[in-house]
Structure 1
């Protein structure tokens, strides 16, 4: 199976949508702080956002590895099991960081704000998903899965600020 990272780089529409509104750019993989996983598992920054947040692959392997997101304010959460799941989340709910209640209603309200400025949002999303060969879940399903991953498997993925040996705060709690 071809690399999704390579596919994002090859497909301009997909990269543009992921950059905005997804706020996900492969060129921003340096977190800027020395961090590690409490478990001692490998940690590889591979993308980031405009506010200094970083997406990390956890453990050994390829794009199927769990993905942890750390913001620049000391918060972190496991957000997906594998890059395909992360990209589906970013395509369907690019405003996931603002969905504190994880409900479809909340997501629709946020989507309406984006649609005011970007009337072609759904068409752009669908072109990006097609270019990457991804089937998209419903918003509600993507949010339920995000919460499940963060509060279930995510308990085993604690990011630590290495110089002070202090864990990041959980971005998503049960």
Structure 2
């Protein structure tokens, strides 16, 4: 049995949707700065986005590990517990970092069909947008408090992602 990350890489429909509008690219694993977790736990970059942000697995294990997202502006948050949950967020609410559904749907009227096709290709149950965003907030403000990303060169912690305080993100 292969990994879910391998399935994303191998399935063109899913990879295309996750690349855009999901802005998730497994080929971009290196973060713009040297970082570490304050706890000393392992940190493994496994994907990135077009703006220099990085998705990291935290701790030891496989794709079930907590996922931390760090942008290129010095902000970070735990966004999912495991790759399955992260992909659910990216499929259900690719605009989670800003903007909104209406903006994306205006530019991409076929987004729901593409999203559903990508989820089916990966064998994932698709949460609703509200469920995905509620879970994002729950993870970031609950277990996420234990995952503090530190800029190694300055020994300064990253700031929380501003999206977690935005209207519409209720926990």
| TM-score, with structure 1 as normaliser | 0.91
Q: 1:152 aligned to 134, 142, 147, which one? A: 142
Match of 1:9 in 2: 9
Residues 19-39 of structure 1 deviation map (CA, whole Å, 9 limit, x = unaligned)? 000000001110021100000
List, as ranges, runs of 4+ consecutive aligned residues in structure 1 with deviation greater than 2 Å: none
Q: 1:165 aligned to 133, 155, 162, which one? A: 155
Work out the CA distance in 1 between the residues paired with 2:106 and 2:157.
38
Match of 2:116 in 1: 126
Work out the CA distance in 2 between the residues paired with 1:112 and 1:166.
37
Work out the CA distance in 2 between the residues paired with 1:144 and 1:118.
24
Residues 53-88 of structure 1 deviation map (CA, whole Å, 9 limit, x = unaligned)? 000000000000000000000000000000000000
Match of 2:168 in 1: none
Match of 1:104 in 2: none
SS for the counterpart of 2:153 is helix
The CA deviation at 1:116 is: 1.4
Work out the CA distance in 2 between the residues paired with 1:46 and 1:2.
16
Match of 1:34 in 2: 34
Match of 2:93 in 1: 93
Work out the CA distance in 1 between the residues paired with 2:131 and 2:22.
18
SS for the counterpart of 2:63 is coil
Residues 105-162 of structure 1 deviation map (CA, whole Å, 9 limit, x = unaligned)? xxxxx21211111111000000100010000111111111000000000000000000
The CA deviation at 1:98 is: 1.2
Match of 2:20 in 1: 20
The CA deviation at 1:2 is: 2.9
More helix by share: 1
When the two structures are aligned, how many residues end up with a matched partner? 164
SS for the counterpart of 2:27 is helix
> Unaligned 5+ residue runs, structure 2?
166-170
Match of 2:77 in 1: 77
Work out the CA distance in 2 between the residues paired with 1:68 and 1:57.
6
The CA deviation at 1:97 is: 0.7
Work out the CA distance in 2 between the residues paired with 1:144 and 1:112.
19
**RMSD in angstroms over aligned alpha carbons?**
1.2
